[in-house]
Structure 1
Amino acid sequence: MVTKTRWIRGAALLSVGAVALTACGGNSGGGEDGDVTLQFTWWGSDVRHENTEEIIAAFEEENPGITVEGEYGAWSGYWDRLATQAAGGDAPDIIQMDEQYIREYSDRNALLDLSDVDTSSFADAAVEGGRTDDGLVAVSLGVVSLATMANVEVFEEAGVEVPDDSTWTWEDYAEASQKVTEATGKDIYGAGPQGEPMGLQIWLRQQGEELFTEDGELALTKDKAHEYLDFTGRLRQDGGFPSADYISETRELGPDNSPFGSNEMAMGTAWATQLTTLAKASGSELQPLHLPSFAGDFSENGAWIKGSMFLSASAETEHPEAAKKFIEFFVNSKEAGEINGMERGLPANLDVREMVLEDVSGPEQKAADFIAEVEQQVDDTVPVPPPGFSDFMGIITRHETEVLFGRTTTEEAAGEMVEELKSTLE
């Protein structure tokens, strides 16, 4: 059965927080006893689109009474478009979901409870990442962990040793950054700011704290925010980071075109599964490193395992059983796993993962080994982000940028940032 695909054009103007999510998926057509048509929306690269189309075709062949119509595009505009569709009573039956929006939609009763989708072969962290008070509302497609990527060839050219990631501290990180910058005459920089809000989360978790509580309240204090911004500001002043202009101009670039992916930085923070994309873009030998810590012990670096992305279903879909059948096929079938590989993270289903790992090598193997090692070290997960969390990246980055440009003090920026984050959650 041929999959019908609609390309997304233009951008919607509404945000999730500004709309009331009401009836969804009401125009799918067909009844449960006859032919069923499901709408499925996702974001991603061309490779992901091709993989997903192939998975849909495999599902339709196995389930001749169900047609899945795909709607896809880039991350930019995805959530505004979805919010607009939901507000108009036309949300897709199946939604590729990101963790920062799970509670946004769940709290508005917009997501179907998927508790009867089989997750018995999943790692616990993969399951809990999609669970709220309303049940299992998002099923993980894969898992990832944050890493400090090191460009081995850049380090060698600079005459600087790649840090020992089992023992390095934040001061070691700063020193390595400065050495690379100095050795290359600022042609290549040691590193750049951590990705937000994950960088701040790691900083807090290493000190036994969290960015937000289980109840969705801000846990960040002004003092901790000050410490974090001060460390970032010192790295810029001491030469480990590039100029504020350079950082500002390159922040929004994707992995392929980022300073690290373009061999202009020795270290960059990224999800481990992005290693393949970064290695291809840079053409260099890359190595994922465990994040620096205060203790000098990688087992105390605050890392966690998270769902890379999820599948959810609209609470108002006219075809809940068909939607769950598709999700079950996507996450549990070895056929879908073989097609998808590690494109959406290290498979959450451990049986599918074992099969996928039989055929990986090079950067993919490095990423898989890294995530597996982190899984053995951690025994907790980060709470499902509260509504408003999707604004954190912009808020933290904006105040960090003000510090880097010297337009405000770290103390002033910390106070204003905390109040703004708190206001966003309230």
Structure 2
Amino acid sequence: MGTGNVERRTILKVAGASMATLGLAATTGCGGDSGTSADGTVTIRYSWWGADERAKRINQSIALFEKKYPKIKVKTDFQDYASFWEKFQTQAAGGNPPDVFQNAVGFLRKYDKRGILMDLKSQIDAGNLSLDHFRAGVTKVGEVDGKQLGIPVGSNTMALVVDKKVLAKAGVDPQPGWTWDEYFKALKTIHDKTKVPGDTGYFGIMYLYDLYLRQNGKAFFDKDGLGFEQTDLTEWWTDGYNRVKAGIITSPKTVEQDKPKSSLSAGHAACEFTWDNFTVRYSAEGTSEYGLAPIPTTDGKDTGQYLASLMLSASARTQHPKEVAQFIDFMVHDPEVGKIMGYDRGVLATTDQFDAYKPTDAVGKEIAQYEQDTAAAGVLGAITPHPSGADTVEAAFLRISGDMAQGKTKVSDAVKQFFSESEAAFQA
């Protein structure tokens, strides 16, 4: 399930929004209306984003579901990430969204505000959908304002992916509790000793900046908008720009030239922050040995981390709420489905599936171990619910930080532009 065909800007943009490995194959299955046939068979529509590999796994899972529930048929539809949300927005505006669909935290408030999402608590209370046996804390990702708007299928958390060979050559050995000062010092050491830049561009990753802010008593988002000030971002981006100029961060031009590879797997950096389950892409793309390292801290303990998740949501307009709930329940709890899906959408969210699937590859084992170690460290907090417009804000953060790093816009102007675009997104 490599992500070698995903260009880096997309994977970072989508990392927050999708929380899972993606491909850019724009393949569409059959759409069509859901309904009930004369013999009582119900048809529901299920849409998701991802590549062909994910589609194969999901279709295998659906075959198992239809075998168990012969009176429920599932029509499928999938695209790449950008095409999925374009189509979904059109369907939602026309009052015809799919009955059940893949979702992410950045879209919950946006579509709840428009009355598109079903509060699944009614189906949980009716016994058609269970919230039992989920790994600690993960169901909170789909909870907004007391409503259960999404059911997680897989979880992930931010991590630092490192080129083990380059770090060993530089004598850098990250340990839990290391500080940002130690991290930035390590980047300089790596560059001085190996001539390889330390990091691919940490300052443009919204979800990493969120962790830094959380370590300092703030957050990227609060309920209604941004949870930080212009002075905060000015400091973050000024430091980032200076490190690019000093050569300890990969040149943005090199990052562009390396696409669709990451500059880490291209050998032009020693580290990159991303979601832990994306680690598979580096092994698929690169020739070195890659591993996961701890998130730097401010106080030597608190990383600000939380479990994020891809999830399944249901349409508030579905004519078949019970069948949709049974489908979601099967997809998140059935052990065979867990074995089929593996870590395609993150580390499996329920203990039923997590225990059923044992990764055999080194990368998969390391991802599972990283999440277990992070949970055991007691540092995981709850994700901050994202306001409506968060998806647009995240894309703006990545784009504007890129312009700033390339010197196309001054830091002060970049900060003003970001706050201005964010304000507009929240009001849309």
TM-score of the pair, normalised by structure 1: 0.86
* CA shift in 2, pair 1:152/1:336, >3 Å: same
Pairwise CA distance, 1:290: 1.0
Match of 2:241 among 233, 237, 243: 233
Other-structure match for 1:371:
371
Per-residue displacement from partner, 1:190-212 (whole Å, max 9, x unpaired)? 21212521122122112111112
Distance between the aligned counterparts of 1:345 and 1:416, measured in 2? 33
Distance between the aligned counterparts of 1:172 and 1:70, measured in 2? 48
Pairwise CA distance, 1:31: 5.7
Q: Is 1:162 equivalent to 2:172 in the alignment?
A: yes
Contact residue 147 and residue 269 of structure 1 kept, 8 A: yes
* CA shift in 2, pair 1:329/1:136, >3 Å: same
Match of 2:88 among 65, 78, 82: 82
Pairwise CA distance, 1:164: 2.0
Distance between the aligned counterparts of 2:106 and 2:307, measured in 1? 15
Report the residue type matching 1:346 in the other structure.
Answer: V
Other-structure match for 1:19:
none
Distance between the aligned counterparts of 2:96 and 2:267, measured in 1? 44
Report the residue type matching 1:146 in the other structure.
Answer: M
Contact residue 302 and residue 379 of structure 2 kept, 8 A: no
Report the residue type matching 1:274 in the other structure.
Answer: F
* CA shift in 2, pair 1:92/1:102, >3 Å: same
Contact residue 151 and residue 312 of structure 2 kept, 8 A: yes
Q: Is 1:204 equivalent to 2:208 in the alignment?
A: no
Pairwise CA distance, 1:97: 0.6
- RMSD over aligned Cα atoms: 2.3
Pairwise CA distance, 1:317: 1.1
Gaps of 5+ in 2: 1-25
Distance between the aligned counterparts of 1:369 and 1:69, measured in 2? 36
Per-residue displacement from partner, 1:246-291 (whole Å, max 9, x unpaired)? 34555xx56xx22123333211111111122322322432110111
* CA shift in 2, pair 1:361/1:402, >3 Å: closer
Contact residue 131 and residue 137 of structure 1 kept, 8 A: yes
* Range 196-205 or range 143-152, more displaced: 196-205
Q: Is 1:143 equivalent to 2:155 in the alignment?
A: yes
Other-structure match for 1:264:
268
Report the residue type matching 2:329 in the other structure.
Answer: E
Other-structure match for 1:190:
198
Report the residue type matching 2:364 in the other structure.
Answer: E
* CA shift in 2, pair 1:121/1:39, >3 Å: same
Where do 1:217-366 residues align within 5 Å?
217-248=225-256, 253=259, 257-295=261-299, 297=300, 299-307=301-309, 309-357=310-358, 359-366=359-366
Match of 2:140 among 128, 131, 141: 128
Pairwise CA distance, 1:366: 0.7
Match of 2:189 among 173, 179, 189: 179
Report the residue type matching 2:295 in the other structure.
Answer: L
Question: SS of 2:75's equivalent?
Answer: strand
Distance between the aligned counterparts of 1:411 and 1:245, measured in 2? 22
Per-residue displacement from partner, 1:331-374 (whole Å, max 9, x unpaired)? 011111111122211111123212223x4441111111111122
Contact residue 164 and residue 291 of structure 2 kept, 8 A: yes
Contact residue 219 and residue 384 of structure 2 kept, 8 A: no
* CA shift in 2, pair 1:248/1:393, >3 Å: farther
Q: Which 4+ runs in 1 deviate beyond 6 A?
A: none
* CA shift in 2, pair 1:32/1:169, >3 Å: farther
Contact residue 26 and residue 316 of structure 1 kept, 8 A: no
Gaps of 5+ in 1: 1-5, 10-24
* Range 398-407 or range 118-127, more displaced: 398-407
Distance between the aligned counterparts of 1:262 and 1:66, measured in 2? 47
Where do 1:3-152 residues align within 5 Å?
7-8=27-28, 27-30=33-36, 34-115=40-121, 116=124, 117-133=129-145, 135-152=147-164
Report the residue type matching 1:153 in the other structure.
Answer: K
Per-residue displacement from partner, 1:64-99 (whole Å, max 9, x unpaired)? 111111111211321011111222233211101111
Question: SS of 2:159's equivalent?
Answer: strand
Identity of aligned residues (%): 24
Pairwise CA distance, 1:131: 1.1
Per-residue displacement from partner, 1:137-193 (whole Å, max 9, x unpaired)? 11000111100101112334xx202332324322332233233334444xx432121
Contact residue 103 and residue 312 of structure 2 kept, 8 A: yes
